[in-house]
Amino acid sequence: MLASAELESFVENRCESIAQTGIDRLEHNQATSSGRALMIWHTTRRTNSELMIHENDAHLSRHLSRDALTAYRQMVKSSHGMDAKDFLKLAYPIGLRETSVPISLTASLQTLSDRRNPASHNHVNRAKSMREPKLERELIDQILLDLQTVDEALEKAVLEYPLVTT
């Protein structure tokens, strides 16, 4: 359970950092896919905003950038747990592409969540419901390895526009 909590904290903090840097770069007219993605995420959630479909729309709507960052941070804070769906909910708005997410990462996050939930949400003997630390360590190691790949993709998203898909 502690590993799951630390993992959740790490992912949330890293995503917030990418969002902050993306918005900072956008405000300084620097290339950033993450800043643009966050602006699009924010304006599509608002019913009274036009969609950002043109090349310069994100720059022309910079006055909304802090609102976008605030909305994203609120969404991150409202997140509880870290399964595959939660991870993607945090990563896609800041420019992560589906092709940059290893399938093993989402599967491992879901497995970790499925294992953690009974121990954290039920009044049972947690020692009996949790797996052996060695088995959990192997799962966490796989998640950390996959997160390195994702982190590299997020770094590209924060520094580049347009993103070249492979």
Residue 161: DSSP 8-state:
S
* CA distances for 117 relative to 2, 33, 57, 84, 161, angstroms: 12, 34, 42, 14, 39
On whether the CB atoms of residues 33 and 157 are closer than 8 A, the answer is yes
Report residue 31: phi and psi, to 5°.
Answer: -60, 130
Any domain includes 166 = no
Q: What is the rounded CA–CA span in Å between residue 111 and residue 140?
A: 10
Positive or negative, the CA dihedral 122, 126, 131, 133 is positive
- Dist. CA 100–CA 7, nearest whole Å: 19
pLDDT above 90 for 117 = no
Tell whether the model's pLDDT for residue 23 goes beyond 70.
Answer: yes
* pLDDT of 121 strictly over 60: no
* Structural domain that includes position 72: 2-159
Residue whose C-alpha is closest to residue 140's, from 9, 13, 6: 6
In a domain, 142, yes or no: yes
Per the domain annotation, does 64 fall within a domain?
yes
- What are the helix (H) ranges across 28-64? 33-45, 57-60
| Model confidence pLDDT, tens digit, residues 37-90 | 999 999 888 767 777 778 888 878 888 999 999 999 999 999 888 999 999 999
Query: Total domain count for the chain?
Result: 1
In a domain, 165, yes or no: no
Answer whether residue 161 shows pLDDT above 60. Answer: yes
